[in-house]
Amino acid sequence: MKAFAYVNATNEKEAIAALAKAERGRMLPMAGGMDLLGMMKDYIVSPERVVSIRNLDQTITSADGGLRIGAAVKIADLVEHAQARRLYPALVTAAEDVGTPQIRNVGTVGGNIMQRPRCWYFRNEEFNCLKKGGSRCFAVEGENQYHAIFGDGPCHIVHPSSLAVPVIAYGGRFRVAGPNGAREIDAGQFFQMPNQNLYGETVLQPDEIVTHVLLPAPGQRSATYEVRFKQSHDWPLAAASVNLVMSGLTVRSARVVMGAVAPIPWRAQAAERVLAGKAITEAIAAEAAAAAVAGARPMTGNAYKIQIAKTAVKRAILAASRA
């Protein structure tokens, strides 16, 4: 690992001051450090200065009928939060499946949302792929069994954060802060496709940090369903979060978001249209799931993910309808 200077910011203001004038990659914020330190050890990023932001807000509070979750809240504390569990089961289910207890005890909500892609070519310093300024995506003709089935490249990563998927299903926003002040960004507009931003994954500027996740009042029924390789601690192969606003037994409106299938959390509006105005039955859930994956374009080694994604959507819808 390259030597770096370390700044321990004691609050949001100090963190922003320390990151101000940052050029991309030269100064980086560190929360739990689990993802960042691994990337530094593998020379994927080599910041000159690391700014600890562990002292950002670590509270979960009620706000505007919803919840305001500090970026420095540990994933384990989100899992234990009674109000979050009662009102946002899709988020808490996703949180309790992240990694292992050790990972959830160190990893923060902000760090989880901002974690970098897991593509093995990206994580290996031997491969100077497109995303690192090289000329080709090695996944296209290489090992792509865990890569995207939506999005058409030119980089075929899948978005890694399990928490971002339900946050978008709930219509959440991110509060971000930088030297020019704070702003709120619709979580559904926060993540960017590779053809919009090849070297990063979000609209966040290098001198900004995520300070809070803001959740509006949830729909009456919601759930997340993830499919993993055995009961392992690894990232899901495919996931889906569903948030239903009900009128009696009929779905008034739905949000269906898929994880681990595209470079960003992938909203399935075709599935949402199938659900709107219907009562949920097994057949309707299956029809919505089929609509969700209708546009999938697998790579050479990952066509199996279409069925898995379809199953995740169907089971998330059925789980939400029973919640």
Of 7, 17, 20, 34, the one binding ligand FAD (CB under 6 A) is 34
Across-strand partners of 225?
240
d(CA 218, CA 33): 31
Query: Does 129 participate in binding ligand SF4 (rule CB under 6 A)?
Result: yes
Query: Does 235 participate in binding ligand SF4 (rule CB under 6 A)?
Result: no
Amino acid at 187: A
In angstroms, give the least distance from the CB of 294 to ligand FAD: 26
CA 219, 280, 228, 192 dihedral sign is negative
d(CA 202, CA 194): 10
d(CA 76, CA 56): 16
In angstroms, give the least distance from the CB of 287 to ligand FAD: 29
Query: Does 261 participate in binding ligand SF4 (rule CB under 6 A)?
Result: no
Quick one: residue 117, left, alpha or beta (phi over 0 = left, psi -120 to 50 = alpha)?
Answer: beta
Of 115, 222, 241, 243, the one binding ligand FAD (CB under 6 A) is 115
Interface map 66-105 toward ligand SF4 (x if CB under 6 A): ----------------------------------------
Residue closer to ligand FAD (CB basis): 105 or 196: 105
Helix (H, G, I), strand (E, B), or coil: what is residue 22? coil
Q: Which does 29 bind (CB under 5 to 8 A by kind): ligand SF4, ligand FAD, none?
A: ligand FAD
Query: Does 31 participate in binding ligand FAD (rule CB under 6 A)?
Result: yes
Helix or strand run (H / E) with residue 102? helix 101-106
Query: Does 262 participate in binding ligand SF4 (rule CB under 6 A)?
Result: no
Across-strand partners of 66?
63
Residue closer to ligand SF4 (CB basis): 51 or 258: 258
d(CA 183, CA 174): 8
Which residues contribute to the site for ligand SF4 (CB under 6 A)? 117, 119, 121-122, 129-131, 137-139, 147, 155-157
